[in-house]
Amino acid sequence: MEILIVDDSETSQLLLTTVLSSAGYAQLHSASSYETAHDTLIACLEGDRCIDLILMDINMPGVDGIEATKRIKADPELARIPVIIVTGVEEEERIEAAFEAGANDYIRKPISRIELLARVRSAIRLRDEMEKRRDRERELEDLTEELRELSNIDGLTSLGNRRWFDERIANEWLRGRREGASLALLMADIDFFKRYNDSMGHLEGDNCLKQVARTIRDAARRPADFAARFGGEEFVLLMPHTDLEGAKYVAEGIMQKLAELAIKHPDSDIGPHVTLSIGVATTHPDMGLDQQTLVAAADKALYRAKNSGRNRVETETA
């Protein structure tokens, strides 16, 4: 427990220090002005320690206790520290001003030992309860965010799911429209996947989906790139600030990596290994279009790839 006493009177400092130390509060700091008090607060923060309570005299030359409290409460790193105003004035307006500045409690001079210790314990207890509540709120926020992320993840492949993709493409569409930047979408479909499931079984089918998902995810090398499972054996890769040539290059890289994996496909018309058909589309988002225009263009390119013999990349400009 560390307590900071801010009072320009050495007599008051000594009295408060004596009462508090006799009650077992050993970590006591004293300051005769706001400036000195602030230096002490910052030094404690930099030393990875904290002041647990401030006893603030209301009447001090220069920056008085009310203004000092206001400045402390305006600092996000110091605002959580409770402040008890120590006052010898009887003016209700001054005490009210101290509370408006952020003071948590007050005690009148001359100091009563019993009242002082009671108010110190009360302030610390209130601070601890507020800290616990903030911790619970942070835990709840973290849990909420974790649940939100889990609800956006495809359970099998760990890629984004269709709902998250819809959110991301809507956001990237708006961003691309603001920035005048191109937006590319890659849509991939595993060739003859139903036959793969029929011949290899669903467990191997799931394993195949996972390997293809990893290959597509690894192609998303920039922070804004986003890979998702679009549905079934279809995947998408959203690439902001990417033109048609760049997106086609990424698609061809995915096909090359998949070829290197050489996942066996015993019932494909193309060859002995799993292959992809990929449609690539790009556009510059503007007011006259929406994101579904880009999705439709990528789907059109994918359809053309599948109907042109599969295991290839086709492109389309939205």
Task: Name 135's Cβ contacts closer than 8 Å, sequence gap at least 6.
Answer: none
Q: Is the CB of residue 186 less than 8 Å from the CB of residue 305? A: no
Can you give the length of the chain in residues?
318
The tokens describing 30, both together, are 């004293």
Q: Is 245 a catalytic residue?
A: no
Distance CA 298, CA 177 (A): 19
Packing angle of the helix pair 10-22, 113-151 (nearest 10 deg): 70
Q: Is the CB of residue 17 less than 8 Å from the CB of residue 46? A: no
Distance spanning both ends of the chain, measured CA to CA: 66
Q: Indicate which residue of 77, 91, 92, 233 is catalytic.
A: 233
Q: Beta strands 276-283 and 234-240: pairing type?
A: unpaired
Instruction: Pick the closest to residue 255 from 268, 273, 229 (CA basis).
Output: 273
Instruction: Pick the closest to residue 169 from 305, 289, 26 (CA basis).
Output: 289
Instruction: Pick the closest to residue 28 from 68, 66, 1 (CA basis).
Output: 1
In order of 78, 86, 257, 279, the CA distances from 67 in angstroms are 14, 14, 66, 65
Distance CA 176, CA 282 (A): 12
- Hey, which residues are catalytic here? 233
